[in-house]
Amino acid sequence: MTTEVTSVMKIADTIGFCADIGGRGFHLPNAIAIRDDGHLYVISRSSQMHPKGTRIGICDVDHEFYGEFSGRGTEPGQIIAPTGIALDSQNRVFVTDEQTNRVTVFDTDGNYLSHWGEQGSEPSQLSGPAGLAFDADDNLYISDQWNNRIQKFTPDGEFISTFGEPGTGSGQFDAPWGVAIDNGHIFVVDWHNDRISKFTLDGDPVMSFGESGTEDHQLNRPSDVAIDAEGRIYVADWGNQRAKVFDANGNFLQSLRGEASVTKWGADYLAANADELNARQTFDPFVEVGTRTPWEESARVEGYFWNPIGIEVDTSGRLYVVEAGRHRFQVYERA
Amino acid sequence: MVTTQTTSDLALIAHLLRRAGFGATRDELEAYAANGYDATVEGMLHPPAERSYLPDDILRRYHHDFQDIRTNGSAASYWIYRMVTTNAPLEEKVALFWHRVFATAQTKLIQGKPILSQLDMFRKYGMGSFREILIQISKDPAMILWLDNQDNHNGAINENYGREILELFSMGVGNYTEEDIKECSRAFTGWTIANTDYMAMKMRNNTARPYGYIDWHFEYRPDDHDEGEKTFLGKTGNFNGEDVIDIICEQPATAQFIARLLYHSFVADEPPVPQWPLVAPKDPAAIQLLTDSYFESDYNIGAMLKTLFTSDFFKDESAHFARVKSPVELVVGTLRQAGGFDGPTYDVYASAAACGYMGQALLNPPSVEGWQGGDDWINTGTVVERVNFACDLIGDTTKSGVQAIIARLRRDLEGVMPTPELLVDHCVDLVGPMSVPHETRDVLVDFAAEQGDVDLSTGDGEAAVAALLQLIVSTREYQLA
C-alpha cells in the first residue's frame, strides 16, 4: 500500500463518514483548514444533485463533530462551489467559491461576516478562485485559477498585488489550484503543468519541481500542497490517487496510497445497521481488483485514497489527506 | 411535393452521419464529402487512435460530483459530454446501441460508475467480435448484479442471466428450450463480483454510507462453479460460460437476431423484440446480407456495420429520414449542431435531464428490453420537450454553431437582400440538408416574410435568422433521422 523510498509518514487514523444530505460527516469534501487549537474545518462541496450537502463542517482529531455552517446558494453567507479554505490570525474562516468568484468570511463559529470579490480578469478581479493562504502579516494569497495568477489581498479584500501569467515557463501557470505559505515563501500547485512552484511572497520564482507521469516521483494533476516545520513538501497527487512527500528541495521521499480503516462515525453507523455490519464480515477493503489505472483502482478499493484532493499539516507534524470520493480524511503521523 | 432540393452527395453523407453518428455541421459534411462516402465509412469504423473529447481531468475538476460519479445526473451528464465532443461518433453510437440491447439501469444498480465502466467496455469491444462482446458482458459487474448472477450458485441456479442472454442478447424466443436456459445458467455459476455480500447489500439498501459506493469488479469463483456435464443446444460437455457463448455464436438464429438488431437501430424501426418470432423482418434480404456478413467475418460487428452502411438498402433515399430520432440523438445532435461544448458547463445537467423528459433517460432504460423507440418516442409531452430543447439551443446566437450558420448565410448571400423564400431554402439546407413539404415551407416563408428584410450584418438580422432556425428545428422533419 505504500511505496517507500524514505519512510516519513505512517497511517494514524481515519476520520469521516458519507453524510450526503447533511449530518455528522462530509459529502464530497475538497479542502481542510486547521485552527490554532486543532479544530478542523472541512468543506463539503457536495454536488448539484445534493444541494443540502454543501457546507463547512467542524471537527477535531478525536472524532468530535462540532457542527456545520453555510449552505448552498448565492445569498450572503452561502456558497455554490467552495474550493479553498484558510483561517487568518484571528481564526476567521475564509472560503473561496470558484462559481460565484467570491471570498466569503465567517467568524470562527461559522457566523457570516462578509464577502467580497467579482468576476473578471482585471487586477483584483477573480476567475475561478481556488486555493488560498495567509502570510504572517495576514495578507491573503489566492490562486486565481482561470486568470493563471496569484493575487494578494488584505483580509478585507483590498487588492495589493498580483504575479503570474499563463504558460509553462518559470513564473507561469496553467490553472493553478492549491497554495501554501511557509517561511516567507508561497508554494503553488500548478495543476495542469503537473508541478509545484515556489516563489518569494513578491512573486519571484525560487524553484519548481515535478514532471508529468504515474511514477512515484511524478505528478498527475496535483491539487494541493502543504509544508511541515522541517520544510517537507506534501502534495495531494489527485490524478495519481496518492499523497506524495518531497524534501525541501523537491526530492521525492514517499508515496502514500491510502490505508483507511473504519472510522468512529462509520462504526457507529454499522453498529446501528446489523445487516450491513454482517455483510461486512466477508468484506476485504484492500481487495485485488486487477487494474492499476489509479482512478479505477481507487474506485474499487475502499481503503485506498479515492480522489485525494486537499492536504494539510498541523504544528505537530500530523498530515491530513482529504478524499473527495470517500467523504473522509486520513491522518498520518511521523514514522 | 418536395421543394427544397439538396445535393445528393451531401444528403447521403448527412444520412450516414445521422445514423452512424449524431449528425454533422455543414463544414463537417463538406469535409466528409470531399473524402467520399466509402472513405467516410472507413473513417468512422476506424477512428483516430488518439481519441479526442473533453478530458476527464478538466471535467472532474469543474464538476465536483464527478469525483464519485454516483448519481444518474452526474453519470448521464458525463456521457453527454463524451457523445457531444468525441472525434469517434460511431464508437459512441455503438455504445448507445449496446446500452439499448444490454439494458442495465441505475434504478436497480443505484450507482452510476459501474454502468460507465460498462460503456467503456462497449467502446473497446463494441465493434469487434460478438463472441468477445458476450464474454465481456457476462463478466460485466453491472450486468451481473442487474440480472442477479451473484445469486447463481452451483446446485442452486438463478436463471435470470441464463434466460436473458438467450432471449434478449443473442437468439430470441423460440430458438431454445427451458432446459437450455437451465444448462446455460449452470455454465455461468461462479461468475460473480468480488466482495459480493457487502456490495449486494449496499445496492439493496441504496446507501452511500459509510464511505460512498465502491465500484465493482468481476470475480470467478471456481469453487462455486458447476463442473458437471451439461447439454446445451444439442451439445454435451463440461461447459463453462465461454463454451456456452461459443455455441450461441455458432447459431444461425444468433446471426439473424444480431442482424435484425443492427437493422432496427441503424436502418429502420422494427417491431418490439418480443414480437420478432411472430413478425417477419421488414427487409428479409437485408437481414440475410447482414447474417452472411456475421459468419463471413467471424462474428465481427464492425464488418456487419460496414456491410450495412455500404448497402443499397441503407443508401436508398427511402431510408433517409425514415426513423424517429431517439431523444439522445436529438439532444446530442442539436448540441453538436449548435457548436458543442467549449468547456465544462453546468448546462450539461439540463441536457442529460432533457433526454429523460423525452423518454430516454441515459443509464436508466425502463426494463431489460431497453427502449422500444420508433413512434414510441413521440407523444404530446415529448414533442414539446424536443421542440423546446432544440429551439433553446438553435435560437441562441452566442453559440458557435449558430454563428457558423449565420456566417455561412452571410457568405452565400453576400450583397443580396434575401427574399423570404431564399432565406428559408438556405436555412433548411444548412440545418440538414433536409427536405420539407410544400405546406411546411409555406409556413416558414410566411414567418420569414413577417420578419421583414433581414440584414445579416446587424444583430436584428441575426435574431431573425435564429428565430427562423427555431421554427425549422420545430418541424416534423427535424425529428427524423
The share of chain A scoring above pLDDT 70, in percent, equals: 98
Closest residue of chain A to B195, computed from CA coordinates: A283
A207–B contact, CB cutoff 8 A: no
Q: Are strands A179-182 and A185-190 parallel, antiparallel or unpaired?
A: antiparallel
- Cβ–Cβ contacts within 10 Å for residue A156, how many? 9
Q: List the grid coordinates of A133.
A: 493562504
Read off the C-alpha cell for B29: 459534411
Is residue A4 scored above 60 in pLDDT?
A: no
Average pLDDT over residues B418-437: 94
Side by side, which strands form the sheet with A149-153?
A129-134, A140-144, A149-153, A159-163
For cell 479515492, name the residue. Answer: A306
B309-328 average pLDDT score? 96
Q: What is the pLDDT of residues B125-180, one digit of tens each?
A: 999 999 999 999 999 999 999 999 999 999 999 999 999 999 999 999 999 999 99
A305 touches chain B (CB under 8 A): no
Compare CB distances from A279 to B73, B113, B201 and report the shortest one's residue: B201
Query: How far is A326 from chain B, CA to nearest CA, in Å?
Result: 5
Rounded mean pLDDT of A318-330? 98
A173-194 pLDDT per residue, tens: 999 999 999 999 999 999 999 9
Give the span between the Cα atoms of A313 and A230, in whole angstroms. Answer: 11
Q: What is the pLDDT of residues A18-29, one digit of tens each?
A: 998 888 999 999
* Confidence at B7, pLDDT banded by 50, 70, 90: low
Please judge whether A260 and B211 are an interchain contact, meaning their C-beta atoms are less than 8 angstroms apart.
yes
d(CA B217, CA A221): 26
Q: How high does pLDDT run on average in chain B? A: 96
The mean pLDDT of chain A is 96
Q: List residues of chain B with CB under 8 Å from any CB of chain A.
A: 56-57, 60-61, 63-65, 67-68, 71, 73-74, 113, 117, 194-198, 200-202, 205, 207-212, 214-217, 346, 349
For residue B346, give the nearest of A17, A48, A279 by CB distance: A48
- Kindly determine whether residue B61 and residue A191, on different chains, have CB atoms separated by under 8 Å: yes
Pick from A316, A314, A318: which is nearest to A333 by CA? Answer: A318
Of A17, A48, A265, the CB nearest to B73: A48
Question: What's the whole-number mean pLDDT along residues A306-332?
Answer: 98
More confident residue, B306 or A7: B306
Specify the range with the lowest mean pLDDT, choosing from A129-133, A155-159, B410-414: B410-414
List, in order, residues 6 or more apart from B204 with CB less than 8 Å away: none
What are the Cα distances from residue B71, in Å, to B22, B77, B92?
25, 10, 21
* Beta-carbon pairs below 8 A across chains A and B: 112
The full DSSP string for A75-90 is STT-BSSEEEEEE-TT
CA-based nearest distance A289→chain B, Å? 7
Do A18 and B217 make contact, defined as CB atoms within 8 angstroms?
Answer: no
Around Cβ B242, how many Cβ atoms within 10 Å?
A: 12
Q: Which residues of B touch A47 (CB under 8 A)?
A: 63-65, 71, 74
- Rounded to the nearest angstrom, the minimum Cα separation between B57 and chain A is 8
Does the structure show a pLDDT above 50 at B217? yes
pLDDT at B416: 87
Q: Contacts of residue A146 in chain B, CB cutoff 8 Å?
A: none
Q: Which residues of chain B neighbour A299 with C-beta distances below 8 Å?
A: 113, 214-215
User: Is there a contact between B44 and B24 (Cβ–Cβ < 8 Å)?
Assistant: no
For the stretch B179-216, pLDDT in tens is 999 999 999 999 999 999 999 999 999 999 999 999 99
Q: Which residues of B touch A221 (CB under 8 A)?
A: 57, 61
- The percentage of residues in chain A with a pLDDT greater than 90, rounded to a whole number, is 94
Per-residue pLDDT averaged across A245-256, rounded?
97
DSSP character for A302?
T
Give chain B's count of helices (H) and strands (E): 25, 4
For the beta carbon of residue B459, count every other beta carbon within 10 angstroms.
9
- Interface probe with A: pick from B61, B78, B216, most Cβ of A within 10 Å: B61
Q: How far, CA to CA in Å, does A267 sit from each of A261, A272, B1, B285?
A: 10, 9, 73, 64
Query: Residue range A115-137: average pLDDT?
Result: 98
Q: What pLDDT was estimated at residue A53?
A: 85
CB contact under 8 A, A324 and B65: no
pLDDT of residue B2: 40
CB A305 within 8 A of CB A323: yes
Query: Is residue B396 very low, low, confident or very high in pLDDT (cuts 50, 70, 90)?
Result: very high
Exposed/middle/buried for residue A145 (C-beta within 10 Å: 0-12, 13-18, 19+): buried
B396-402: long-range pairs with CB below 8 Å, 24+: B396/B338, B396/B466, B397/B462, B397/B463, B397/B466, B399/B338, B399/B339, B400/B338, B400/B339, B400/B340, B400/B342, B401/B25, B401/B336, B401/B337, B401/B338, B401/B339, B401/B340, B402/B338, B402/B339, B402/B466, B402/B469
Looking at the predicted complex, does its ipTM rise above 0.90? Answer: yes
Residues 6+ apart with CB under 8 A from A259: A1, A2, A11, A303, A330
Q: Given its phi and psi angles, is residue B390 left (phi above 0), alpha (psi -120 to 50 degrees) or beta?
A: alpha
pLDDT of residue A7: 83
**Is the four-CA dihedral B122, B127, B133, B136 of positive or negative sign?**
negative
Name the nearest CA neighbour of B147 among B217, B98, B200.
B200
Does the CB of A328 have a partner CB in chain B at under 8 Å? yes
With CB atoms and an 8 Å threshold, state whether B210 touches A260: no
Which residue of B lies nearest to A261 if distances are taken between CA atoms?
Answer: B211
In the predicted model, what is the mean pLDDT of residues A42-58?
Answer: 88
| Torsion, Cα of B219, B224, B230, B236 (10° steps) | 50
Nearest CA in chain A to B75: A49
Helix (H, G, I), strand (E, B) or coil at A270: helix
Q: Which residue's C-alpha cell is 461462479?
A: B190
- In the predicted model, what is the mean pLDDT of residues A125-150? 98
Contact assignment for B57 to A279 by CB distance below 8 Å: no
Show Cβ contacts of residue B320 under 8 Å, excluding neighbours closer than 6 positions: B11, B15
Mean pLDDT of B417-433: 94
Distance between first and last Cα of chain B: 19
What's the pLDDT band for B415 if we cut at 50, 70, 90? confident
Taking only the tens place, the pLDDT of each residue in B323-381 is: 999 999 999 999 999 999 999 999 999 999 999 999 999 999 999 999 999 999 999 99
Of B57, B201, B212, the CB nearest to A18: B212
**Nearest residue in chain A measured CA to CA from B346:** A48
